[in-house]
Structures are given as structure tokens and as C-alpha cells.
Structure 1
Amino acid sequence: MVDNDLVKISKLSKFYGKKQVLHNINFSIPKNKVTVLLGPSGSGKSTLIRTLNGLEPFQAGAIEVFNQVIDSHTKNGWRDIRGKIGMVFQSYDLFPNMSVIKNVTLGPVKVQKRKVSEVLTAARALLKEVGLAEYENAYPRNLSGGQKQRVAIVRALILRPSLILFDEITASLDPEMVRGVLEILKKLADGKLTMVVVTHEMNFAQQIADQVVFLEEGKIVEIGGGQDFFDQPKTLRAQQFLESMSF
């Protein structure tokens, strides 16, 4: 693995029963950069991103992450690694019976064994940064979709992950809410976090991508630099995809 790569995926294949959904996937995720996974619906983007923290097992190939190699035969290999990987889903996955501040602080206190006072200070600073300072005692049922998604982002960030994964986090939001969430992700990208993002928001992808991995039918069609991919895609299929998107 090259020194500036945080993750290397080699010959990775994934099956659901007899159906192969990822075919011989090979690419690396550079440190302190944003890698965007693009492709039509059903191309395998969400499945692929979920293999990067062990949520989806794979049947062939290997993932090297934080200098540890995990293959299809590795048992409990993700246990020590998951604490360094944050993930935000489109479904928020907040605990409905816990306040915002409890949702955010539970992981660092219970799992990472950090001091409650330090975690509370960090949580309040992050909530302020995303415009939710006054909602720390609110419950998820009292929040809009955009507010819930911002809480989910804070909950991931407070764990101080080395890698953070975003899977279609604006898919269930109204257009007005999308703008606020994407502005937060843009700030994170500018802050040089290592991020992998699955999105259909083409303007946003173009703004933040350092690397684009374009998939179709579970196969990588093209890998390119962020701006290069949008300005001069190398494959006809990528050209057709970009022409079909309104941005």
C-alpha cells in the first residue's frame, strides 16, 4: 500500500446467494482526501461502502485498512478497526428514547471510555458548529430530517474517526434540508478528513471529490481525479452518465 493511502481494496467480490453484486473491485483511498463513489442506482455503491467497515461481508479479495489486511476468512478482524471508522447513513439511526446530547455522547463515553466532561464539551462545540446548540435536550421525534442527519454527522465526528463514510445521507431529505447538510460535508472536506461519499448530488460531488470511482453493475468502469472525471471522462459510459444528470 502506498504511504499516502489509508485503504486498499484488492480483487474484492461480493455475492448475495448466487448473485454476484461486486466484481473484482480494485482501488485505493488516499489519506486526507475525499473519494466519491458514483454510478446509476443498483450499481453497487452502497454495498461497496458497507464492506469498508465490515457491515457487508465479502467472499473474495481483501481490504487493507490501517495496515491490517482483512480477507473473507478473517474472523473478528473488524473489531479493533471499527472504532476508527465513522459512518453516516440516510436513515439516521438515532436512538429515539435518547436526547440529542445522549445520542452524541454515548459512543465516546461507553465505547471509547473518554471522560464525560471532555465529551460533553466536544459534543456541544460540534452541535454549535452545525447549528443545533439549542437542541441538545430535544429528542429525535422533535427534529426535522435535516436536523436528525446533522446529529448523525456529529455523532460520527465526535468519535474522532480516521475514516468517515457517508452513504446517500441526503436521499430522504427535502431539497431545502439537503443544502444545509451538504454545506456541513463541504466544510468537513475542506478540513482534510479522509472521506468516502456515496451521493447522487452531482454538483456537490464535483465540488468535493479528489477522486471519483464510477461503478456500474458492480464493476468499476472508471477511476479518475475529481475534476478530471467531470471535465474529461475517459469512458463512453461515464460520459453518458454525466450527460444524463442535471447539474
Structure 2
Amino acid sequence: MSEPPGSPAPTDTDRRVRVVIADDERVVRDGLRLMLHTQPDLVVVGTAGDGEHALRLVTDLRPDVLMLDVRMPVRDGLWTLARLAERELLATTRVLVLTTFDLDEYVDEALSTGAAGFLLKSAAYEEITAAVRATAAGDGALSPSVAGRLIRGYAEARAARTRDPARAELLATLTPRERDVLALIGEGLSNAEIAARLTVSEHTVKSHVSRLLAKTGCRDRAQAAVLAHRTGR
């Protein structure tokens, strides 16, 4: 589906965040599209009602963000996410999972496969638009319930001292301060909150985050949070 009538066509100098929405309910797609089109820095360039259509749109349009439902006909959102990862399309299109269900298996598979964020449809208007911007910027976004679950899992893993040896080797490449930052990402803290906790500037935190992502091979903060959770950092 092309960009809705009445929306200015993107140009080479257009700095708006380009979004594709994939949801099997038309009322949800239309509602999200209207919501995002009220924001001057966001534009919906396509919508899909199933996973296969979403995959084709991302392949053809290369949007900045794909808002992806989990439960859809033909192919579901997790299938779509896996195909995007296989085709290395997550390097150019970041995925924000937006769903009604925050089941453990959905959260773990989505974040492990490469989703940059996981948000519930019950989120407020401001949360959704902020999550799209954060996802496009590479910061990612997690609903409070998902962040809380990661924090609990992190605490349990640390208490049990359970480690994934392969991932533990990655941690050995980090400096002590980078490990501190990783642990706080695992607790769901933002860069500003980490800066306040460590008494450093936000710019310094961003530098630590960039370096630890490069060293561990994590695409974004969401994958870093999963790494912290699984290694008990």
C-alpha cells in the first residue's frame, strides 16, 4: 500500500521518520496511521494486514520503523521479524512490536530475534509516538510490564549466577564501566537515568552504550537488555 492520499510524498531531503504499520485489524491500522500523521516528524508510507505483506513492504520501501503486530493471518509477526533478520533488513528498518499480548514467549523471541522495542496497544498516544521516535533513533522502547519482566529475570539470573558461557565471553571484552552501563540497561533505565545513577554526563553514557553495542554485537538497547538478563549482569 502506498502512502495515504493527502500526505506529502517523501523527498530526498525529507527528514521525517518513515513508518510501515502491520496489523490484521483495519481499525487499528487506520487509527495508528491517523495518530502518526498528526506528528510533523512522522509519516506512514504503507500498511499491511499480514506478515507476508509486511515483509514485501519493508523490502520495497525500506522504512525507518515497522510497527508490527504479533498475531496476524497468513504469517504472524514473529515469522516476519525472523525473515527480516535473515535478509539483514533490520540494519535499515527497526521493528517496534505493538501487540495486545505481552506473553513471555512473545517478548523473548521478539527481542532475541531483533525487535528494537515491545509495546502494548493499551499504551497512551504519547507513549506510542515517543516509542516510534525512540525506535527510529536506535534507543528502542519497552512497555513497563516488559521492562519489569526483564528486571525480574535479570535479578533471578544474577542471584542464581547462571551464565551463558558464550555470552559471558563477550562481557570480558567490556570495561568495568561498560559492564555497569549494560547492567543498568538490563534494568530498563534510559540514558538520562543511567547518567544520574553513575553521576556522569548523558553524552558519556551514549558513548559507553555505542561501544558496548559494538563489542557485543547487539543491534540496539533491546538486545543489550536481553544480554544483560541472560548473563545475570
For normalisation by structure 2, the TM-score amounts to 0.31
Query: Is the helix fraction higher in 1 or 2?
Result: 2
For normalisation by structure 1, the TM-score amounts to 0.30
Higher relative contact order (CA 8 A, sep 6+): 1
Query: Is the strand fraction higher in 1 or 2?
Result: 1
